[in-house]
Amino acid sequence: MTATTDGSTGALPPRAAAASDTAIDSTTPAAAGAPQAAARAAQRATDFLLSLQDAQGWWKGDLETNVTMDAEDLMLRQFLGIRDEKTTRAAALFIRGEQREDGTWATFYGGPGELSATIEAYVALRLAGDEPGAPHMAKASRWIREQGGIAAARVFTRIWLALFGWWKWEDLPELPPELIYFPKWVPLNIYDFGCWARQTIVPLTIVSAKRPVRPAPFPLDELHTDPARPNPAKPLAPGFSWDGAFQRMDKGLHALRKVAPRRLRRAAMNSAARWIIERQENDGCWGGIQPPAVYSIIALHLLGYDLRHPVMREGLASLDRFAVWREDGARMIEACQSPVWDTCLAAIALADAGLPADHPQLVKAADWMLGEEIVRPGDWSVQRPGLPPGGWAFEFHNDNYPDIDDTAEVVLALRRIAHHDPVRVDKAVGRGVRWTLGMQSKNGAWAAFDVDNTSPFPNRLPFCDFGEVIDPPSADVTAHVVEMLAVEGLAHDPRTRRGIEWLLAEQEPDGSWFGRWGVNYVYGTGSVVPALVAAGIPAAHPAIRRAVTWLESVQNDDGGWGEDLRSYKDVKEWSGRGASTASQTAWALMALLAAGERDSKAVERGIEWLAATQQEDGSWDEPYFTGTGFPWDFSINYHLYRQVFPLTALGRYLHGDPFADRHQGSGAARKPPAEAKGTE
């Protein structure tokens, strides 16, 4: 493992050879030749992946993020008065295990220390009984002070501290609950925010209005640069700038708080509470993700909902299902769970690797996916009120927020499986295609959850200093939709062609595409090239050739591909650069194979790297984070990525594209679903 200039470990320096710890030599299976090595690796990977399937038909790998999930879970339990010794001990064990040598916590493997994550982890360990003078705690607090202390932390961290009086509410941006009344044509209405931000902001307007403070169990003076003046005022930006304008608007909202009619504020909070309760899922969670659930529970509790109330009881129970208990007794909290995504990707991988289309485990997966179809309207219908429902979400329970990416990949998975009820499959696919086409944005592309969710204002709010709060179209999601539409016989549909034109216009000068939901340019390029070829763009097209040239230029000396999350911050130095990983190597191979490069040296070396780094049980190890929630700000290690994508690449190397016959010529061999003809 190499060290970076900022002291972190795991990621390799920019423009370095980026060789992985596993080297290829004459003793590896790859020495027999790439085809033989690929066949052996694919068989072992197939057996391993089949062994992971749940009896109900789904797959789900752990979804690893960072310790703020675990710290906030403990702080929530402290706030509600339900923190217990077993949970605290297990969470602390996990958090301590993630601390770096310099005393900090990072937000991704090998990344630099991150201030807010370090503060929250430190507070959680204080709750667990770790003393400030302990060496690991003293290192952390010293580093926190060097970075500016609590005052320099993001808003969300300071909200958590305000709950216990460690920060003043009046020194936080104001979030008025009256936002709930803004119609959708008014800037900064709740539907201007992406669905994940919307679900968080609505309950936080209640918390902001109530400004609760629970007695702090200990002081945090050691985390302030100046304990006598712990909340230093930040200078205002110039009034003619956007930041300055929104800072002054926030000051106005603080003043308005003192004169806002109490009856209106109570009514707004009650309306927000109804909005929250209406969106609670059948399993008690909100949107299938942990942060909105946490803030919704706090908000409802502040409005008088007893912990024994069914809404609260089921909400708290749902949080326990985000916990992953490890063999050493540690407890990791998932920010979300990904069974639909993992299942469709696993089915695609197995089918592409040659598993018979009527294999019982594939059929069982199809049965489960069909049962997860969403058949009722959700928040998306605010912008598309006339569009009939359809599609799939990411999680076990999330009927309010189906997503376009999952829907596209589920359709691609179902089309690979010989199901015993093809009529049922056709109807579900038809509804999914119709819904997806209806969710196309004005520019011809697709976002993850919403239509034309591109307002420039939400990201300007002082409150929004962490991650994306809007959901604009992205190349990776659009690519998956285009590929799905091509398979469904809609390659020449005007709506598909608009998506293709958008993708071609979005290509970077170096030949790559930006990856919104995966890291980063390798993911974007690995998504777009197969989609364009599937839709009939010839491999000789200049855009495809530029992509091939770029992928070949960033291949590591060991034969694999990797890209560090720093490429979201420093494109010039890190684009396509990083230690080789199984998932990113697979993405590059999928693009090169689609571009007709099967017999190239780059593909041969990539296949050999996958074969050589495979473990005896058929799996791959991948500590690096190759998924994103918010580019740079919130990173994800999908533990199943390291299994499904290498198997997909190996399968396509061995057997070719399973839909190649449909992509030849018109790309429209399949009769388009009848439902697709009448969308908005």
Distance between CA atoms of 154 and 160, rounded to whole angstroms? 11
| Catalytic pick among 342, 352, 405, 450 | 405
Distance between CA atoms of 413 and 64, rounded to whole angstroms? 25
Count of CB atoms situated within 10 Å of the CB of 422? 11
How much helix, strand and coil, in percent to the nearest 5, is found in the chain? Answer: 50, 5, 45
Distance between CA atoms of 434 and 120, rounded to whole angstroms? 44
Distance between CA atoms of 365 and 360, rounded to whole angstroms? 9
Backbone torsion region of residue 288, taken as left when φ is above 0, otherwise alpha when ψ lies between -120 and 50, otherwise beta:
left
Question: Rg of the chain over CA atoms, in angstroms?
Answer: 25
Asked if residue 214 lies in contact with residue 163, where contact means CB atoms within 8 angstroms, the answer is yes
Contacts of 539 (CB under 8 A, 6+ apart): 533, 594, 595, 596
Amino acid at 624: Y
DSSP assignment string, 117-151: HHHHHHHHHHHTT--TTSHHHHHHHHHHHHTT-GG
Count of CB atoms situated within 10 Å of the CB of 236? 12
Asked if residue 254 lies in contact with residue 174, where contact means CB atoms within 8 angstroms, the answer is yes
Q: Which of 426, 350, 344 is nearest to 658 (CA)?
A: 350
Whether residue 130 lies in the annotated active site: no
CA angle 518, 499, 417 (to 5 degrees): 65
DSSP class of residue 6?
A: T
Q: Active-site residue numbers?
A: 405
